[in-house]
Amino acid sequence: MAEGDRLVLYYRIQGTHTGNGGLVPYPPTGQRWDMLGATAFRFADDLIVEEPWAVNDVAAMLSDIAKANVRLMMEEGRNNPAATHVSTYYAKDFAYHDSNGSELQSRSAYEYELSRLLCVEPPPRLEIEGQVSEGDCVLTRYRLIGYGLDDGVHMSLIRFDNGLAVEQWDTNG
């Protein structure tokens, strides 16, 4: 839209999250993203002299990428026992809390506990049923299939800081 010396530009930016660049701190997900935005300009002598405001829906884009990141963390971590994903997705001071009251206070303690869980033959398969996110947190509803766990719904709330998981709360259904 243009009127007089002013122009408002409404736009859509799309891409694939490769992990390169500083806007999105999360490890690469391969997630397609879509961001809407609007910017206003004022011109003088065919040059931009003012950009009084710009609005981008960065929160929605980051939410989509955060959910994709959790999907990779959980599915890769549980469904691929050979994966060494913990150092990619979790902060060194990561804290884990489960519904039984036990806690783990480091990434290495969590990695060790996860490796113990995956020793069961065959290991249960994790299937994500839904996700919501707000701010720096992602809530994921999932089921563990196999090893007698087929009937329970589980929830995991993961909080992020600078693209890495720093705290996780799990409930077992």
Class of domain 63-171 as given by CATH: alpha beta
Class of domain 2-60 as given by CATH: alpha beta
Give the start-end residues of each E strand in 6-124: 6-16, 32-44, 47-56, 90-98, 103-104
Predicted TM-score (pTM) of the model is 0.74
Q: What is the mean pLDDT of the chain?
A: 83
* Band of residue 167 on the pLDDT scale cut at 50, 70, 90: very high
Mean pLDDT of the 83-94 span: 82
Taking the C-alpha atoms of residue 73 and residue 26, their distance in angstroms, rounded to an integer, is 11
Q: What is the pLDDT of residue 52?
A: 78
* Cα angle value 112/26/166 (rounded, 5°): 45
Q: Domain extents for the chain? A: 2-60, 63-171
Q: What is the pLDDT of residue 148?
A: 65
